[in-house]
Structure 1
Amino acid sequence: MADLAFLWHMHQPDYRHPDNGEFRLPWVLLHAIKDYTDMAAHLERHPHIRCTVNFVPVLLDQIEDYADQFATGCWRDPLLRLAASPRPECFTADERQWLIDLAFRCHAPTMLEPFAPYRRLRDLLLHVRSHDGEALDYLSGAYFADLATWYLLAWSGESLRRAGGVIAELMAKGSGFSLADRQALLAELGDAVAGIVPRYRALADDGRVELSCTPAGHPLAPLLLDFNAAREAWPDCALPAAPEYPGGRSRVAEHVAQAVASHARRFGRPPAGLWPAEGALSEAFLKQVGEAGFRWTASSHGVLKHSAGNDARTTQAWQAPDGTPGDLTLFFRNERLSDLIGFEYCRWHGRDAAQHFMTEVKALHLQDANHLIPVFLDGENAWEYYPYNAWYFFSDLYDALEKNPGIRTVTLSEAADSQRARRARLPRLVAGSWVYGTLSTWIGHPDKNRAWEMLCEVKHCVDRALDGDRLGPAERADVIRRLAVCEGSDWFWWLGDYNSPQSVASFDALFRENLKALYQVLKLPLPSGLDHPISRGGGEPESGGTMRRAN
């Protein structure tokens, strides 16, 4: 019997302004009401499916922040504040422009075009703009109330729509949403957000899902440990001027320890497995993963090929290289099957896609009945490109898997146990990630390297401050918390001339705001470079916060 091991990775970076806690972008909220709810619903409806779901602590922190906003009505997300406003006719010009800039950011073929009232809001805006830009002032408060409402409805999950509550009623109503309508919608969305962690914990407690973690702030650990790790798979990589990230080993250890504590607090037990941020591993990081007591970790086929040759296969588990503490099992994703789900099947009819996936899995099963089939990807970013948020794809796929006696879905801890006797020893591990098998997405470009240099500069200041007695206990804790945010991988991902200008500008600005806040807590003057953008950006915009990755 072949083992099919899904890993669904859930991650969004910290979108909160470091000073006031305001959410600069709403992607955690939108993925929460659309994807985290739907992915739980699919598993609840298919009790014989086993899989691994990975949550990053920085995402869970923000989900809890949103749950608190819904519970208290103290809105720190402008989208929710505008949706809850009793007087939309009093929106300021800046609020109106902000909502217009945001409220059509989605994959239009699946999330806007199917809904005539939402299309009318877009078409009305286009009509007004085509005649006179100043005519935007004539759009009424009712227009903006409906726009905020429809944006939340468009991002609501298929499971919420099918529950037959307020969301379905408002979608049927279509327009003219009253304050009572919007309050009812916010109440229903608040219940959905508050239920995310308990639902996944219940699935784990029932043994149907394994929950794993990522280091707390989603740092690119191999580079925190050694910039030269980038040259293992890309020898010509240009490195930052700074020779290293100071104190990287202790910082990675802290992110790992915080992740374990976060996981135990929220899910009732420590995690057995760790999915590294961006699937990025190095031998130095593997040693820290082993020292922390994890049973398994994972990366991509590209990393495996660089480490063990082009013939190395993902269809077995691997034992970590000699010198790795503990007994750490490594998994490497099947890139073809993972990318079919992440990028290709959204263009197919759901049933055809599910049947094709099953055919591919059966072909692997015929080659070796004891094969492991590891399919790892985002559990959030691909589904907006599917009709009905991939509802029919998952229904047909999970149904087919439950009925197939030759394919068994397993968690990665179960796979580690069943594959133990078949493991081969990995001769070495060449540092890389699940993007091209290298670290090039986070280092090597002048803008990315400049960001690393800015981070190294503030880290030296942090170390000096923590070594002295200028800061009290609360200030020291605040410094460490803010530093962890600055160490996140997403700041470096988005910098460069091949990403969306809109997203590059947002992440560039928020990264610099976090650095500024750190200097201010340290009671140090701000370097002049923090007032100037790092990158100019380029490419086409993405709608969902984090690029739809091949993961």
Structure 2
Amino acid sequence: MIHCHPPRAAARSLAVLSMLPIVLDTCAIAGNARWRLDPVAGGYAVLALLALLALTVACERSPEPWARSTQPVESGTSAAAAYNATLDGATVQFDAVAPIEQQADSIPDSSVQPDGPRMTDGTQDVVGSTGDGQVADTAQIVDTTTDTGSIADTPADTALPSDASAWPAGTLQVVSAFSPDGKNIKLRFNKPLDPKSVGAASDFTLLENSQPKAGAIISAQVGADPLFLALNLAPTLAINPALTYVAQAKNLKAFDGQGLDPTKNKAAVKRTAYVHILWHHHQPTYLDPIADQLTSPWVRKHSMKSYYDMASILQGYPDVHLSINLTPVLLNQLIPYYLDRIGEKDLAGKELYVDLKNNSIDEAKFMAKWKGKTDPWIDLLLEDTPEPKVATPKQIGLLYADPWSCVSTSPVLMNRFAAYAALRDKNPATLTKEDLAALKIWFEIAWMDPDFLLGKVKLPTGDTVDLTDVILASAPSNATFTLKMPAGLDEGGRIAWYEKLANRLVAEQYKIMKAVIPIHTVLHYDADLHTGQIEIATTPFYHPILPLVQNTELMGAGQPFDPKPEPAYSFPSDAGAQVKRAMQYMEAALGFKPRGMWPGEGSVAEEVIQHFANAGVLWVATDQQVMEKSGLSPGGSPVGPFCVDTDSKKPGEAGDGQGRLGVFFRNTNMSNDIGFKYQGLTGKEATDDLVANVQAQAPKFGAPDRVITLILDGENAWETFSKEHDGKGFFHTLYQRLEQLQQAGEVISVTGSEYILGNPKRNVPAHPLEGLPQLEPLFAGSWIGGTFGIWIGESEENQAWNYLLQTRQDLAKSGLVQPDPLKPSPVNKKSLEGETWYAFDEVYAAEGSDWFWWYGGDMTSPSNDDSPFDANFRLHLAGVYSHMNAALKLQGKSEIAMPVFKPIIQANPQAPQAPLEPPPVLDGSFVPNESEWSAKGGFFFDSDTAGAQANPDDWMATIFYGFGKFGSKSGLFLAVQHNFDLSSANNAGLGIYLSHKKILNAGTGQVQEDPATTKDRMGGPLGFKAKGAARELWVALGGGKATAEWRKWQTGATTWPALAAGPFGGVVAGPTKGGKLLEIFVPYEDLGIAATDPLEMQLIFAQGPKTLDTAPAVDAKMLVEDPTTAIFVTFVCDARGPKAGNPPLNLYGDLCNLPAPDGKGIVYIAGNDPKLGMKAKWVPNKVALRDDGKEGDEKAGDGLWSLVLPFPKGSNLKYKYTSGKPENEGQWGCTEEFPLTERALDITKDPAKKKVKVTDIFADRPTPSGTPGPKTVVVLE
């Protein structure tokens, strides 16, 4: 049987049919155009069609890229099948391209400029942008011998449309020119070329800097694909890469007889571009080491939705190569907690609980052994759904009340399941048992890849998943879904049906999870044999910020004004163990050792290169921002890779090449576009944009090779792709396009090792490390801002590093020998070797980056509650002591006591909302309840209990405060709620420490400050931002009474008690008998300040000579901000939309009220500060910007909305914009610029700066959440 490429064959057959009146039908489906016959043509047309179909049938057809299923499909309609377009059963496709302006390469390294936040000192951003992150190259190359047509480098127009209906009805045009090998040039045309029109070599000219190069082209011919024409070059031709070359043609015709447009007859010649895509798959360790259970379902959920499919989809596109990064910490949860427990086997290798034939699980046997040992939602599925009235708090939390619950699903994704969305929106008080049963089902189904919902899927393990008997899809792809519940069931029958389905889903999901590793090994790219498609890279074991494990002092280069943990955390042996252990683990799990690494958060430094090199790593990857901070190509586009080594040469000196390592630099903007910009686009639109930007990065003719590296999470972005379910259309279209470009030689997708070592089977030359440009030294930074600011530098983060240091020092003091990281875990966990191994394993887990991510104000989880991460971090510290002491006991040594690691993250505070009018009743009790304080006042929490058992030193619980009048005096109100009975306390006291700074002249900054100290009365530290505490209110407790003593600090004083107590004009009320509350009023006259003067406060509770509790635990509470040290921030939100080259305002969702002048809406800002409308949670549509030319707004009605606010230096602001009306206060729906994402602004601590202007673009979505928008511009003055 003849084997040929059918679309190519069909295209060639058009040479026979070109005189017939065949025209394009505009009907096309996702990459395939239908042909129709002009009815006037009559019988000739029929004969022509028969000839075309005969040729197609004569070929042994391999499925087209868009026709290949991501998994073999036996029955039903697969998702991939929806990408077919057919005509009477025959598939016809042409690789069509749209006409564009020909391209020149006058800006070879900056066609794609970084368009993230540009930090300048009083200067405006002057980079010319085309509005989508591209910099227009307006240089013209003029060929004076033929015409004066300009050749503009317009990368946004270089896209390959995926349907033939995009071919123009007009003239033939040159689209691009590239040289895959330096021996010939390929011209790409906008429509198929008539081979008969290709004449002598004299019809083609190679222009060198606009001048004809005589004898350069010796012949020309059309290849198998008539969209391309090959120009063969003279063997003696010398190419100067510093010059620009343009290929020009004449006298050509298309199949339809149209001639070549003389103004569109040339293009700048470029080389083949290589693209390295890396999808990063990672989940932090969710293990509760005490309960031996995962505390979240996300490892399982992402396995269903992404980890399997992101690899399996490549089966349909064998010419596409890429890298996937699998982290050990991810697999180390997937394997032992799901595969080994749900899939536990007998001696014959048969699953004990899962019936793979009947798709069910033996609930009784499984739950008897493994209840509470996988994740709580597995138990929820396998246990009967509770009646709402008797559901336990834990069950209610799992179902809908907790931050992680059965409604923790993206709204974009949930809206594909109408019944699920209805349950989410239902009043929880009205939920029935049937609702709860349905809710747990929908949570599972919504988190499955759509292919599993659309048809039968064969897995590489031999298992199949087929849910078509219970799930009804509205369409073959991009569908919405309902359940096929049998008709006529009563409520009990419906609940029973849900329970049976819940059992089945555990079995079905087990099959998918079991196939995650096999699909990666099946498609594994072997760099020695040059087989496979996917290179598996990995990450140091527990995903640490490796440079900070090496030494936290490495933060200093990128964060010169941030406080450092004292003393430094520095354990190079741990850093090396994290790398080596990852390599050992992955080799054991996969059967081969990875060659590449994406270090945790792309974090690298010169000091950690040794650990990668010593472990046999060939390449690592990080971000473009690290490249720029290392002194390379500031403002340019990252191409590479570069070579780094372990020598100690100084900057600017060439190294000796010892311990070489390749470094790929992530293209920041292009990678971010995938995760955020493309969420609101169709697959074709996104692919057009991405491919255009890749092509724009192609090297000039004669220049060295380039590889464009694109890296982002392969698991999180797709659920918010609104146009196509789970981003499926984007992947199919992108991979199809890459196959087309690979076949032409224009763009070649590669893995990291494939690019360095070469692959002769795909004509990829080797790029050995010794031949790469060397980078010395490598800057210490990450992929987020090129610094480590997300994980270190804030008080919460530094406190966590201090906890970790104390634990690690105790482990070192124990004398236990650090295990060999290349050896697996011991079989006997309870042996000395086993307990030692697990003690170090727990400290490695605590070194993971994910805990530090959530500490501090710079990151907040979508639930606005980071406490689960804090609790898990401290559980790992407890695990270190548990295993360490078990090992010491086996040695007959004394145990090392575990310190009390108090919670670092407190519940959300509230700032005062208004003056306390009327004032609270000061009587030592809440009347009628705490609302007399909380309704208008502020409060913050101070929980120091680390576990279920109360900490006996955790005296203070909640501090309420506010301002107002008490009688004739104005001042500060305080209510300190304690955990224990104050009336029974003896020889104890509450110390309240307050700052003093009186503003004499706000305009000049003149102030008066009293003497102050940084110590409390017991000599403990006080964390004031100002000079320290200038006042102490000591409330002595004993005999059921409270006695107030007021002191002012004096110059030369040594301790507070040594100072004489002065008169106190305020009030102290309480405690009542058995009471836990003290209520206090402190007049401004005693404080020596006015209401507008800055004020800080910190409290201690002491007994005898010992401080038992401090609130807040680390830094003093800023009650009134200091305007003399504040920095004024001007927020500017550009809400002009597409008319200014910006994204559509409604890109990520409907806006009910567009801002003026397009509508009657107002632009608002909501964020994590009271000035931004923060209460206990963010409040949208409360704080308005203005566009009236007043109070900081430069011009009325220009669509640039403004707001000026003061903030303390060093503040970490999180915010987003909404468009609404005053009546929309509190409403996110139909008003927010994008869901599930927030902007960030880290206000400088530089004392020389006084103002910040941040210009954002509405709907310019940040990546990741908690960072500035890609086009945000920040100006410092």
Normalised to the residue count of structure 1, the TM-score between the two structures is: 0.91
Alignment of 1:46-195 (within 5 A): 46-64=317-335, 65-72=337-344, 73=366, 74-75=370-371, 76-89=374-387, 91-101=391-401, 102-109=405-412, 111-124=413-426, 126=427, 129=428, 135=429, 139-164=431-456, 165-172=465-472, 174=483, 176=494, 177-195=497-515
The 8 Å contact of residues 699 and 706 in structure 2, kept in 1 or not, is answered as: no
Indicate which of 296, 300, 311 corresponds to 1:25.
296
Indicate which of 750, 755, 760 corresponds to 1:410.
750
1:318 maps to 2:642 = yes
Q: Map Cα deviations across residues 462-518 of structure 1 (whole Å, 9 max, x no partner).
A: 111234899922221221121111111110011112313645111111111221232
Q: Map Cα deviations across residues 149-205 of structure 1 (whole Å, 9 max, x no partner).
A: 100111111232233454444333536443222222221111000100111011106
The 8 Å contact of residues 503 and 542 in structure 1, kept in 2 or not, is answered as: no
Superposed displacement of residue 311, structure 1: 5.6
Q: Map Cα deviations across residues 79-126 of structure 1 (whole Å, 9 max, x no partner).
A: 1111122454474343123211311112102x11121111221232x3
The 8 Å contact of residues 12 and 27 in structure 1, kept in 2 or not, is answered as: yes
- Matched residue, 1:132: none
Residues 15-24 or 454-463, more deviating: 15-24
Distance 2:679 2:392 in 1: 39
Distance 2:774 2:568 in 1: 32
1:221 maps to 2:546 = yes
Distance 1:534 1:325 in 2: 44
Distance 1:535 1:493 in 2: 16
Superposed displacement of residue 144, structure 1: 1.5
Q: Map Cα deviations across residues 210-269 of structure 1 (whole Å, 9 max, x no partner).
A: 111111111111011111211122222310012233xx1111111111111111112211
1:353 maps to 2:656 = no
Indicate which of 526, 533, 539 corresponds to 2:904.
533
Distance 2:845 2:699 in 1: 47
The 8 Å contact of residues 41 and 159 in structure 1, kept in 2 or not, is answered as: no
The 8 Å contact of residues 37 and 159 in structure 1, kept in 2 or not, is answered as: no
- Matched residue, 1:485: 845
Distance 1:325 1:190 in 2: 46
Distance 2:811 2:399 in 1: 38
Query: Would you say how many aligned residue pairs link Structure 1 and Structure 2?
Result: 535
Indicate which of 292, 299, 304 corresponds to 2:627.
304
Cα 1:39–1:269, aligned 2, differ >3 Å: closer, same or farther?
A: same
| Structure 2 unaligned regions, length at least 5 | 1-271, 345-365, 457-464, 473-481, 486-493, 526-530, 648-656, 758-765, 819-829, 886-895, 909-1167, 1169-1213, 1216-1234, 1238-1262, 1271-1277
1:260 maps to 2:583 = yes
The 8 Å contact of residues 495 and 535 in structure 1, kept in 2 or not, is answered as: no
The 8 Å contact of residues 51 and 210 in structure 1, kept in 2 or not, is answered as: yes
Greater helix content: 1
Indicate which of 768, 786, 789 corresponds to 1:440.
789
Distance 1:147 1:63 in 2: 24
Cα 1:391–1:97, aligned 2, differ >3 Å: closer, same or farther?
A: same
- Matched residue, 2:522: 202
The 8 Å contact of residues 279 and 714 in structure 2, kept in 1 or not, is answered as: yes
- Matched residue, 2:310: 39
Instruction: State the secondary structure of the residue aligned to 1:365.
Output: coil
Paired amino acid for 2:832: G
Instruction: State the secondary structure of the residue aligned to 2:325.
Output: strand
Superposed displacement of residue 519, structure 1: 2.3
The 8 Å contact of residues 212 and 274 in structure 1, kept in 2 or not, is answered as: yes
- Matched residue, 1:398: 735
Paired amino acid for 1:97: G
Distance 1:338 1:84 in 2: 40
Residues 268-277 or 454-463, more deviating: 268-277
- Matched residue, 1:515: 877
Paired amino acid for 2:628: K
Distance 2:611 2:907 in 1: 36
The 8 Å contact of residues 569 and 801 in structure 2, kept in 1 or not, is answered as: no
Distance 1:255 1:542 in 2: 32
Superposed displacement of residue 46, structure 1: 1.4
1:419 maps to 2:767 = yes
Superposed displacement of residue 312, structure 1: 6.1
Distance 2:305 2:554 in 1: 37
Distance 1:98 1:385 in 2: 23
Distance 1:103 1:525 in 2: 40
Alignment of 1:484-503 (within 5 A): 484-498=844-858, 499-500=860-861, 502-503=864-865
Alignment of 1:536-551 (within 5 A): none
Instruction: State the secondary structure of the residue aligned to 2:748.
Output: strand
Cα 1:449–1:477, aligned 2, differ >3 Å: closer, same or farther?
A: same
- Matched residue, 1:389: 726
- Matched residue, 2:612: 289
The 8 Å contact of residues 304 and 312 in structure 1, kept in 2 or not, is answered as: no
Instruction: State the secondary structure of the residue aligned to 1:53.
Output: strand
Q: Map Cα deviations across residues 24-46 of structure 1 (whole Å, 9 max, x no partner).
A: 11111111110112202221221
Paired amino acid for 1:330: V
Distance 1:391 1:429 in 2: 37
The 8 Å contact of residues 213 and 271 in structure 1, kept in 2 or not, is answered as: yes
Superposed displacement of residue 547, structure 1: 6.3
Distance 1:28 1:549 in 2: 23
The 8 Å contact of residues 350 and 392 in structure 1, kept in 2 or not, is answered as: yes
Paired amino acid for 1:533: I
Distance 1:506 1:320 in 2: 39
Paired amino acid for 1:183: N
Distance 1:93 1:548 in 2: 31
Residues 338-347 or 155-164, more deviating: 155-164
The 8 Å contact of residues 816 and 836 in structure 2, kept in 1 or not, is answered as: no
Root-mean-square deviation over aligned CA pairs: 2.6
The 8 Å contact of residues 455 and 486 in structure 1, kept in 2 or not, is answered as: yes
Distance 2:566 2:297 in 1: 35
The 8 Å contact of residues 609 and 646 in structure 2, kept in 1 or not, is answered as: no
Instruction: State the secondary structure of the residue aligned to 1:178.
Output: helix
Distance 2:328 2:817 in 1: 30
Paired amino acid for 2:844: A
> Which structure has the larger Rg?
2
The 8 Å contact of residues 51 and 411 in structure 1, kept in 2 or not, is answered as: yes
Cα 1:542–1:193, aligned 2, differ >3 Å: closer, same or farther?
A: farther
Overall identity of the aligned pairs, in %: 28
Determine which structure has greater relative contact order: mean sequence separation of CA pairs < 8 Å that are 6+ residues apart, divided by chain length.
1
1:243 maps to 2:243 = no
Distance 2:897 2:699 in 1: 65
Paired amino acid for 1:57: P
The 8 Å contact of residues 274 and 296 in structure 1, kept in 2 or not, is answered as: yes
Cα 1:468–1:390, aligned 2, differ >3 Å: closer, same or farther?
A: closer
The 8 Å contact of residues 719 and 726 in structure 2, kept in 1 or not, is answered as: yes
Distance 1:281 1:232 in 2: 13
